[in-house]
Structure 1
Amino acid sequence: MRESAAERHDRLLALVRERGTARVADLATLLGVSPVTARRDVEALATKGLLDRVHGQVSWPERPERPERPDRQGDPGARRSGEGLVLGLLAPSATYYFAEVIRGAHEAAARAGARLVLRISDYRPEEDRARTEGLLAAGAEGVLVAPGWRGPEDRLAYGDWLAELPVPTVLLERRADPGTPLDALDRVVSDHGHGVLLALRHLLELGHGTPLLVARGDSPTALAVRAGYAEALGTLGLDAPGPVIDSVPADQDPQGFERAVRALFEAVSSGRVSAAVVHNDVDAIEIVQRLADLGVKVPEDLALIAYDDEVAALADTPLTAVAPPKRQVGRHATELLVERLTEAYGGPDEEPARRHLSLLPRLRVRASCGAPSGVRPA
């Protein structure tokens, strides 16, 4: 995939910020571009005030400290407004799941009078740091970060820098290993384990045996759903009716998708299961369609609950779905970041307590599990 100018600018800013000062010729080599391209990029960024340029080299500009707001003076417990703040948001995507997270963040920023600046990583964790440096260069005084990790290996390889950012940082829909520097950051997440437990309990209450899980394994949400399934089985004192079926996108891996469908078809036709939870909505809709081709109907032969609730209601047979509070994740995270940037504490020795906020998904009951429609409380 060809790198855009904006992406290259982010990498250039990250290099200059890391070094403090750099020669334009050296930047061209590090970026893998021609000296002409590097000079053009430097001129564009310097014009915007994002870099200082002098005699063939550039440096990270010295930025004055943000002035104290009048309403903080004389009252150590007072808040100041978020008006005029610039907040940065790094998301792995602007579509599907994260579209709602971004919308919630934007709404909360607007209510606070702050400006939200967005960068997208396209699930390339190696680019996360450069994208975030771009946000800082654009004036972000605090950042909301949902790294483009796909699994634990990405978190280990591309996570440490987050704890070293010079501005308040809130993790979005991402967890860290206990005891690590990342675990000391504020974060706001959906409790996917709770969501899976809601789904299993509902299917059991309808009289089904232990539901089978069909899930992807290519994102933190998918891995959290898998972990939540194992935890829910333990909580309910159940044994899995079979191994988790690995789901893959039908358009990217048709053969892998067909294997997943056949595995679920075999589990149903053999009488081993009569219910399943499928992550995510798109996979669930396509699996239902393919099962119908094979003679298995939902909900007559299989009760099914999707996970994400992005498009589940639009299926031919509207799908019951677990709905993570995506919009609220964005809203609460933004409110927390604004508070970090505007809160005054009792004195220089009083440090704000970090927060790990988990929001509970809800179960939206529709036709695919054979139960009356409605919303079950979390």
Structure 2
Amino acid sequence: MRESAAERHDRLLALVRDGGTARVAELAARLGVSPVTARRDVEALAAKGLLDRAHGQVSWPGRHAAPSLAGGSAGARRPGDGLVLGLLAPSATYYFAEVIRGAHEAAANTGARLILRISDYRPEEDRSRTEGLLAAGAQGVLVAPGWRGPEDRTAYGDWLAELPVPAVLLERRADPGSPLDALDRVVSDHGHGVLLALRHLLGLGRGTPLLVARGDSPTALAVRAGYAEALATLDLTAPGPVIDSVPADQDPAGFEAAVRALREAVTSGRAGAAVVHNDVDAIEIVRRLAELGVKVPEDLALIAYDDEVAALADTPLTAVAPPKRQVGRHATELLMERLTETGGEESARRHLSLLPRLRVRSSCGGPGGVHPA
């Protein structure tokens, strides 16, 4: 299988970290790529602060006087020097691309190496892929299981609590009191994100928003649960049942039914606002609504959930932005803490929830900006 750019970047970082400093031509030869490709990789990693460039050489941050790849290393050791971390994610694109990026940056900042496996949302393969990470040398793992619903968590979850190395659960919650609930975890507080969206729309005087949402992932289910909790918190009644959303390219008939249900809610006066999970669905829904005579934001104020591509819509969409990159970063830092603990008693396990932000754009009809948690 062709090596991805992320995997190549990981190898490049490992070469520079182990050798201290190197020339681009050396790196190209060691990586088996052209000097142009190696130069682009170096520029990308240096722009993120993961490498230093000076006098035609590439150095690990803080190591400007080290020998080349052929020699030994020099400089003070970092806490993670020599450590290998594993990351299992259900996807390397869309939502989880930023989670992976945050984890990679945090690992590199400590001197650790991060290796990646992707499950493609096949939870039955999570265990074997994680065992593959251990076989590749991972001394601790970050795991975002490929669950789609609670049944997957029940069927493919308990093995995580039996791993022989420290593990941190990413963007996934466990059943209270289950073995998995005793693991460290770092998650986005999607309930808080939905509450931010509802409060913003209510403040615009658009009435109680409808929810249009998928039901095929833990994030989608958390958004649905957060909507119910937000309505209870605000002492509101939904203007109608949650509208089930499906991808337009996978289920055209189901997508059309969702759009027409939302259109009917708007034209009947039941709803003047909506929260839509996710961005891609929201963009397609806005386009199809316009064809049916419903305009955003004139007739419907709309907030998307995820903020991956919401800003790129014809009418830039206001969106809830989960702190994906920070989830990856904090989880990696927590795993590093577990791996480098010394002395006596182990520190308490932690469940860390990070708050999303609301990025206001044109789809609500108000002024733009970022609304903090």
Cross-structure match for 2:314: 316
Deviation at residue 343 of structure 1 after TM alignment: 1.5
Give 2:370's match in structure 1, choosing from 359, 364, 375.
375
Q: Which has the higher contact order (CA 8 A, sep 6+)?
A: 1
Going from structure 1 to structure 2, the CA distance change for 1:152 and 1:135 (only over 3 Å counts) comes to: same
In structure 2, the partner of 1:366 is 361
Cα shift readout 1:117-159 (whole Å, capped 9, x = no counterpart): 0000000000000000000000000000000000000000000
CA distance in 1, matches of 2:295, 2:156: 44
CA-atom RMSD, angstroms?
1.4
> What does the per-residue CA deviation read over 1:204-255, in whole Å, with 9 as the maximum and x for residues that have no partner?
0011110000000000000000000000000000001110000000111000
Matches within 5 A, 1:77-226: 81-226=79-224
Q: Tell me, in whole angstroms, the C-alpha distance in 2 between the residues paired with 1:159 and 1:180.
A: 10
Using structure 1 for the length normalisation, give the TM-score. Answer: 0.78
Check the 8 A contact 2:148/2:218 in 1, yes or no: yes
Residue 353 (structure 1) aligned to one of 348, 355, 360 = 348
Secondary structure of the equivalent of 2:221? helix
- In structure 2, the residue matched to 1:9 is none
* Equivalent residue, structure 1, for 2:35: none
Residue 73 of structure 2 corresponds to which residue in structure 1?
none
SS in structure 2 opposite 1:209?
Answer: coil
> Which residue of 2 is the match for residue 269 of structure 1?
267
Aligned AA for 1:363? Answer: L
Inter-partner Cα distance in structure 1 for 2:141 and 2:94:
21
One-letter code aligned to 1:88: G
* 1:40 matched residue in structure 2: none
- Identify the residue that residue 229 of structure 1 maps to in structure 2: 227
Which residue does the alignment assign to 1:250?
Answer: 248
Q: Which runs of 4+ in 1 moved over 2 A?
A: none
In structure 1, distance between residues paired with 2:130 and 2:101: 19
Deviation at 1:351, TM superposition (A): 2.9
Query: What TM-score do you get using the length of structure 2 for normalisation?
Result: 0.79
Tell me the distance in 1 between the aligned counterparts of 2:292 and 2:265. 13
The answer for unaligned runs of 5 or more in structure 2 is 4-76
Give the superposition deviation at 1:80.
Answer: 7.5
Matches within 5 A, 1:287-326: 287-326=285-324
- Matched letter for residue 363 of structure 2: S
Q: Is the 8 A contact 1:200 1:211 kept in 2?
A: yes
Assess if the C-alpha contact under 8 Å between 1:265 and 1:291 holds in 2.
Answer: yes
Which whole-Å deviations, capped at 9, do the CAs of 1:98-124 have from their partners, x for residues lacking one? 000000000000001000000000000
* Cα distance in 2, alignment partners of residues 83 and 249 from structure 1: 44
Q: Which stretch shows the higher mean deviation, 336-345 or 294-303?
A: 336-345
Q: How much does 1:5 deviate?
A: 12
Give the total of aligned pairs: 300
Cα distance in 2 between the residues matched to 1:238 and 1:88? 44
Residue identity in the other structure for 1:353: A
2:78/2:111 contact within 8 Å kept: no
Whole-angstrom distance in 1 between the partners of 2:285 and 2:80: 46
Between the aligned partners of 1:293 and 1:81, the Cα distance in structure 2 is: 57
Alignment gaps of 5+ in structure 1: 7-78
Question: SS where residue 188 of structure 1 aligns?
Answer: strand
